[in-house]
Amino acid sequence: MKMDKKALVFTLDAFVATLLFIAVLSYLVFSYRERAINPHMEDMASDIVTLLDYNDTFSASAPAIEDALNQTLPAGYKMQVNLTKNMGSVVSTSLKMPVNKDVACGRRVVAISSAGSITDFGILRYCIWMG
Amino acid sequence: MRQKRALITISTFFLVGILVSLFSLTLEQRREEAGYFSRIDNYFSSVEASINKMIKMNTNINISSNGTALRIGQGLPAKDFSSINSYFISFLNNLSESDAAINVTLVRGEFPLEVYPHGIVYKNPDLEKIEVFYNQNLTKYHVDIRVSDNIQNCQWNNFVAGTFPVEIRAEGHNKVCETAASVSLGTLAQYQIRVESNLKDIYVNFSNTILITKQTEVPQTNVTTTFILREKPTLLFQSDRINVTMKRFNVTKTDYPRIYENL
């Protein structure tokens, strides 16, 4: 009888420890996966704006930038860009950033051309999210 | 006895929990730092891309390479690059970003390109000149000059035979001059190309540097310089060294921007 009680305590102890171990492990794995979304989206957004910058897209108007973005973005993603030119003007795409979603943002320096030569520079701020 | 065992179990569990939490925090910190390094790189690359666009659009320079041969083509008179370059530098230095600071240092008024890692520098001392600072990593030098005029004559004015192989080709509307010779480094050797309409000259001087000078009255001339090097080159825009600092981690990337076009 004494031996049975000892075995029960040992089993319960092992069971509770296993449960706690699984709980901690799941928390770590899921929280890591959630945080891993951001760098992936940030890299993707950086690649997209680099490509558009190479094609001189940011020298164009906001609707043209929006068109180029829509053609380049993979399905299921949305992006917002805001370009502040050194000479003062600001070009923004129309999408607003969501408040309840995971958003990755970045920025880059861009050269702005007019009539085939660079005339100004600006800071491009961009954000990407799934939507 | 049982209490002792329970205590050991509980303390082991808490100890493992603390270790896992610490590991998780460190992992998160490293990931965050890696993210910042990547952002510095992206930011630096965007400044490089802007310089490349400026060179592509605001100069009349064409750059290409094929293995160890690097070709730089340029029209003379050269386009004045200094004003847009100064504007870009002042733009970068006045950027006020929350966690990034960009400083551009070593600003020079000319337009030097450095052939890396060979230490050969190509620049325009003024809009009518091309100067090349060379060394033993340059195994052969070829220059192709195309002038929008008739050529009256081409000749060597000073020539001291040496071991450095050079080839000069000058093409006008009426004829082509070609010469291949080995010149002595450090001793002046001058090749003169005289154009017909106003009897003005283009000079190719070989001395401590290679200097191509077009007199102002000579019409638009295209000069393509080919460097044959010991190994595959990278071309750097040497005039402005860029520092990008992320203030939060006090991490700075300092480098000369690279020229990507066809390399």
* Tens of pLDDT, residues B69-101: 999 999 999 888 878 888 888 888 777 666 677
Residue A88 is predicted with a pLDDT of: 81
**B175 contact A CB<8A:** no
For B102, nearest residue in chain A (alpha carbons): A109
What percentage of chain B carries pLDDT values higher than 70? 92
- The arithmetic mean of pLDDT across residues A27-36, rounded, is 62
From residue B33, alpha-carbon distances to A39, B37, B224 in Å are 12, 6, 45
Residue A129 has pLDDT above 60, yes or no: yes
Closest in A17, A86, A108 to B42, CB measured: A108
On whether any CB of chain A is under 8 Å from the CB of B95, the answer is yes
Residue B262: pLDDT over 60: no
B97 with A13: Cβ contact below 8 A: no
Per-residue pLDDT band for A36 (boundaries 50, 70, 90) equals low
Count residue pairs from A and B with Cβ separation < 8 A.
Answer: 72
pLDDT at B137: 87
d(CA B232, CA B156): 32
* Cα–Cα dist B76/B225, whole Å: 13
* Torsion sign over Cα A56, A58, A61, A65: positive
Res A77 pLDDT > 60: yes
What one-character DSSP code corresponds to residue B256?
P
Name which residue leads in pLDDT, B107 or B43.
B43
Please give the helix or strand (H or E) that residue B12 lies within, else none. helix B2-58
Residue A116 token pair: 């085939």
State phi, psi for B255 to the nearest 5 degrees: -165, 165
| C-alpha count within 13 angstroms, C-beta hemisphere, residue B55 | 26
Q: What percent of chain A has pLDDT over 70?
A: 89
- Would you call A113 and B28 a contact, using CB atoms and an 8 Å cutoff? no
Question: CA of B6 to nearest chain A CA: how many angstroms apart?
Answer: 9
Mean pLDDT over each residue of chain B, to the nearest integer: 84
- Residues of A within 8 A of B35 (CB-CB) are 38-39, 42
Residue B260 contacts A where some CB pair is shorter than 8 Å: no
Q: Which of B31, B42, B81, B86 has the most A C-beta neighbours within 10 Å, making it the best mutation to test the interface with A?
A: B42
Predicted confidence at residue A83, as pLDDT, reads 93
Taking an 8 Å cut-off on Cβ atoms, the answer to whether A106 and B28 are in contact is no
Whether residue B9 is predicted with pLDDT greater than 90 in this model: the reply is no
Q: Which range, of A1-15, A97-111, A116-130, averages the lowest pLDDT?
A: A1-15
Q: Do B20 and A28 touch (CB under 8 A)?
A: yes
**Which ipTM did the prediction report?**
0.74
**Residue B49 contacts A, CB cutoff 8 Å:** yes
DSSP tag of B80? -
Of A24, A50, A54, the CB nearest to B20: A24
Q: For residue B39, which residues of chain A lie inside 8 Å, CB to CB?
A: 106
Q: Could you tell me which of A123, A130, A33 has the C-alpha nearest to residue A73?
A: A130
pLDDT tens digits, one per residue of B25-70: 777 777 777 777 788 888 888 888 888 888 888 888 888 888 889 9
The residue that leads in pLDDT, B247 or A18, is A18
With a cut of 90, say whether residue B144 has pLDDT above it: yes
Output A24 or A91, whichever has higher pLDDT: A91
Q: Please, which residues 31-50 of chain A have a Cβ atom closer than 8 Å to chain B?
A: 32, 35, 38-39, 42-43, 46, 50
Confidence check: pLDDT of B15 > 90: no
The distance of A63 to chain B (nearest Cα, Å) reads 23
Name the average pLDDT for chain A.
Answer: 85
Residue A110 and residue A54: Cα distance in Å, rounded?
9
Which is more confidently placed, B248 or B215? B215
For residue B6, which residues of chain A lie inside 8 Å, CB to CB? 13
